[in-house]
Structure formats: C-alpha cells, structure tokens
Chains A and B, each alone.
Chain A
Amino acid sequence: MTANNSDHWWGQFQLSEHSVLEWQLGPLTLRCRYLNGEWQIGYQRAREDNDDQDSDWQRGPSDAPPDALEHCARYVFNHTNGQLHVMPQLPDRALVSRPRQPFNLIAGEEVLVYVSAPLWLTLDVGEKHQRLDDLAIQRPSDTWFGPSTLEGELCYATRSHCRRSLDELPRRPHRAIIPVLIRNHSDSLLPLERVAIPARSLPLYVAEDQRLWTPSVILERERDGDMAALRIDDKPPTEAGRCHPLASPRDTSSSKLFRAFNTLFKASTS
C-alpha cells in the first residue's frame, strides 16, 4: 500500500488486494478496502465535535473491516485496479455563517471576515477516476436563507462563527478558509447578522502550510438599496501565501457577478 504524500490527507493511493486504508479526519472515520473487482467504503462520524478547537488527522492501514462502521457500501467493477483518489471538495450548497455577535457596518466602510467552511471528500477509483462517493467530512446543519419560508434557498449552516482575525480560526485540516470582504456603499448602517457564501462556485487552493483556501468573496452593498453584488476573486488571497490549485468549483456555469442581496446576504433590517 503506497501513498504519494504524507503531508496532507488527500491524494492518490495504491491499495493492494484485501488491504484496508483508514482515515481519522475530524469527526470522520473512513475505511476503504480493495478486493478483486470490488471496493468497500465504510464511514461514520462522531457526534461530538468541537469546531472551536484545533484538530489533526491520521491515515494508515487498518485491520478492522469497513463494514464495522455505521455506513458501508460495496462497489463492484468488471475491471479495476487498487488505485484510489481522495480529494477535498467544497459543499454542494451555499454556506451560511454568522458572527459571534451581530455587528453593524458603518456607511462607506468595509470589513474582512474569515469563514471556516466544512469540506466534503470525493472518492474516485481507477485510471478513469470513477466516482464512488462524495461525502461530508462533518455534516453541517441544514438552514434556510431568505426573507420568508416561501422565498429563499436551502443552505448549510457553518457551525463555527466567522471571525475578523485569521489567528482566531482554529487549524482544522477538514475545513477551508473563505475570506469575505463586505463593502457598504450605501448611506445607512448595514446590520450584519448572517452571511451566505456561494460555496458551489468556489475553487479550492492549498497553501504551503497545508491550509486550504478559497479566493476572496466580495459582497458590495449598492447605494440604491438592499442589493448586494457578489464577486469572486480570480486568484487565491494574498494572506494565504503561495498556493496551488486543488479542486475546481462544483458549479462552473454560474457568473461571478451576482446581484443577490436578499438571497445571499441577509441583514436584519427590522
């Protein structure tokens, strides 16, 4: 059993027959077994996981079978080799984060906050990268983002708060950092209660310190009302240092320019 890199939890791995490779990644335990013409993928998540603490990861061979875990699935192939590709990916819905305490953004000012995004991992096998699974490392809560229960969008709620300082963010290998720059071009205060980020449209980068980053998301409140133009930077943030691209966005079709204050960016206007 070989792994091409031990600095990070993702990558390409070659499993010999009947061997099991196990990951301990945040709350997730993942086991992959390769048999002749078959893959067995088992996983379970710990119920308790403190998002405000640093965490580490482990990977190694295991004697325990995947079906000893809570969820297990078998994938049968006519021809396959023991090649396994494990890659991080951003969530498949928009993410909603809130500051620890709601704050007001003064007219004409801007603020930079960092959002810690939960990651998914994709499991592909073989030379053709055939997809076996796309699972959340830590299953975030569902949430609704919109002015009413009739109008809005189903999103994921990040359990951690967005922070104004990068140092306040815990180092967790199964989460990515999304810098969000909010500019208030209007003449009134912008009460900031929750921020929604279109995670589906964001690519993923890895920095030299193995932290995962996305490009900056810029939300600009227009002068003429409660609309926000949303722009996604086309390069990784400067504070991340040197970065390499790791995963492309899930949704490449959407434009980088939105006007979506009510659905993507909610302020408590009452």
Chain B
Amino acid sequence: MSDLWTDITVYLSSDKLWDTSRALVLVVVGFVLAKAVSSLLVRVSKRRLDAHGQQLLQRGSYYLILVVFLISALHELGFNLSVLLGAAGILTVALGFASQTSASNLISGLFLVAERSFGVGDVIRVGTTTGEVLSIDLLSVKLRTFDNLFVRIPNESLIKSEVTTVTRFPIRRLDIMIGVAYNEDLKKVQAVLDDVADKNPLCLEEPKPLYIFMSFGESSMDLQYSVWAKRENFLDLKNSIHREIKEAFDANGIEIPFPQRTVHHITHGGPIPHSEQHAPD
C-alpha cells in the first residue's frame, strides 16, 4: 500500500502528469476544433457543392484536424513519431496483405468519387436493388430502398457491376407493351394511342411518342408504344396512361386478347380417327 502511495506521489511530482494533461487537452481541443471547422466549411460551401461534395469536405476536414491533434498529443506523451511512422509503414504493409478486400473497396471508392456517376440523393439501380443514395463512403455506398430498407453495397461490387442512375436526366421514356387481337386495324390502334398520349398532359409532346410493331405473337400482335415524361411525373404517367389506353381501347372496341389455345374435344372413345390426326410428312 505504501509502495502504491509512493508511486502516485512520485508520478504527481514528475513532469509526466503535466505532459499527460497537455496531451488530453490537445485531444479535446482537436475534437472540438475538427467538429467546428468541418461544420463551418460545409456551411460556407453549401451553395457551391452538392450533397456528396459537402459530405466529403466535412469528413475530410474533420479527420485531418483530428489526426494532426492526435499526433501532437502522442508527441507530448513522449512518443518518438519517426519510430511510430516507421512502425505504421510496416503495419500498413501487413494490414494491406491481411485486408485486401477492404483495400480494394477503398481504391474502388476513390474511383467512384472521381467518376461522379451518381451523387448523394440520386436514385440508382444495382442488380435488383433500386434506392436513393444516402452516402458514398470509402468502403461502401449506402442506399435506402423504396420499401425503406437500408442496403450497403461494397464499392468493389459497384465498380465491377452495371449501375443505372435513374435520376441522371430530367426526362425519361416509358415503354408500354401492348398486344392487340389479329382482327384489329393497326392504323386505328396507332391513332387511338396517339390520341391518348396527346390528351395526357404528363406525356411530353416532344420527343414524340414512338410506335413500334414488335412481332406477330402467339395470341396477339405485339406492339411497343413509348412515351416520354418529366422524371418526377414518371410514375403518375405510368399509372394514368395505362388506364387511359384501356379506356380508349374499350371505347373504340379494340380487343386486348389473352393467351388462347384451340382444344379439340373428341366425344367417342378409342383411337383418334385418322381424319383428326395430322397427316404424316
């Protein structure tokens, strides 16, 4: 007990206490200053940078200031920084081998940031996942899907796979696949479709709607009718124009057929009569 008391009194009377206090003050000041400076920088750059740029600036400035103050604090505690940096170099190599995936994600993240394919707030589609970008971090991109799920996609996967930015351009095309019965007049069908598009105010007048005959299908003649809409109105147009096409087809007596099979019902038992069988080649 007396030894412990002696150690404490020796420590309190030495310079170490003073150094530790200074290091602690440096760490606290570093935290406060990093927070204040990063917030200030974001406020100043709000008009010049987009959401992603602001996020990068905030994090970059925060960690830079924090690291400078932590190094100073370590210096105060008597650590030899050159030895520490050397050790950090060796540690980095070791960590690099051990964490190849993370390093790959990190590098991919830098490419993603430089490429600017999408930003925070954009809606992107990766594989089967579609969602709004919440943040683009060094290791991963975070998405919020429309059914309110949080999805983390590693940057490496984003670099390797096809990414669709849904909100890149102000207008979008909606492709409507329609099948009409074989006895319908295709000119009349096209005229009815054009009239529907013309009357829907969400459907852009220019670029003009596109009418494509796709194929003679099994049960119907298959058409594609493509209309353009302002990006924000895309869903509204999708809902309204399908309803309007159905109403217009009903009003004009145009049939949308469903898949049909012709079945021959044989009433008498026994083998199928020769006349009802297909003739051999």
Contacts and interface: CB of A to CB of B under 8 A. Distances in A.
A140 B201 contact: yes
Contact of A144 (B199, B201, B202, B206): B206
B204 interface: yes
Nearest to B170: A154
B201 A139 contact: yes
B199 A157 contact: no
B228 A144 contact: yes
Interface string B170-207: 11000000000000000000000000001111111111
B281 to A, nearest CB: 53
B233 interface: yes
Interface in A138-194: 139-145, 149-150, 154, 157, 194
A143 B204 contact: yes
B204 A144 contact: yes
A140 B201 CA distance: 6
A150 B201 CA distance: 21
A47 B207 contact: no
Q: Range of interface residues on chain A?
A: 10 to 19
Nearest to B203: A141
Nearest to B202: A142
B169 interface: yes
A154 B230 contact: yes
Contacts of B207: 144, 149
Contacts of A149: 169, 171, 207, 228
A230 interface: no
Interface string A43-58: 0000100000000000
A96 interface: yes
B237 to A, nearest CB: 9
Contacts of A157: 205-206
Interface string A114-144: 0000000000000000000000000111111
B205 A141 contact: yes
Contacts of B199: 47
A96 B206 CA distance: 10
B139 interface: no
A141 B204 contact: yes
B170 A141 contact: no
The residue among A143, A154, A157 with the most chain B CB atoms within 10 A of its own CB is: A143
B264 to A, nearest CB: 48
Interface string B215-251: 0000000000000111001000000000000000000
A80 B200 CA distance: 38
Contact of B201 (A142, A145, A194): A142
Contacts of A47: 199
Contacts of A139: 201
A144 B171 contact: yes
Contacts of B203: 141-142
Contacts of B171: 144, 149, 154
Given A150-B169, A154-B171, A143 B205 contact: yes
Nearest to A143: B205
The residue among A140, A144, A154, A194 with the most chain B CB atoms within 10 A of its own CB is: A144
A141 B169 contact: no
Nearest to A151: B169
Nearest to B168: A150
A144 B230 CA distance: 9
Contacts of B200: 141
Contacts of B201: 139-142
Contacts of B229: 142
The residue among A140, A142, A145, A194 with the most chain B CB atoms within 10 A of its own CB is: A142
B235 to A, nearest CB: 15
A103 B169 CA distance: 32
Interface in A79-107: 96
Contacts of A150: 169
A174 to B, nearest CB: 15
Nearest to A266: B206
Contact of B230 (A140, A142, A145, A194): A142
Nearest to B237: A142
A143 B207 CA distance: 7
Nearest to A139: B201
Nearest to A157: B205
Interface string B149-173: 0000000000000000000011100
B103 to A, nearest CB: 36
Interface string A177-214: 00000000000000000100000000000000000000
Contacts of B205: 96, 141-143, 157
Interface of B: 169-171, 198-207, 228-230, 233
Given A141-B198, A142-B205, A149-B171, 5 more contacts: A47-B199, A139-B201, A141-B200, A141-B201, A144-B204
10 contacts: A96-B205, A140-B201, A141-B203, A142-B229, A142-B233, A144-B206, A144-B228, A149-B171, A150-B169, A194-B206
Q: Which 9 A-B pairs have the closest CB atoms?
A: A157-B205, A143-B205, A139-B201, A143-B206, A141-B205, A141-B201, A142-B204, A144-B206, A143-B204
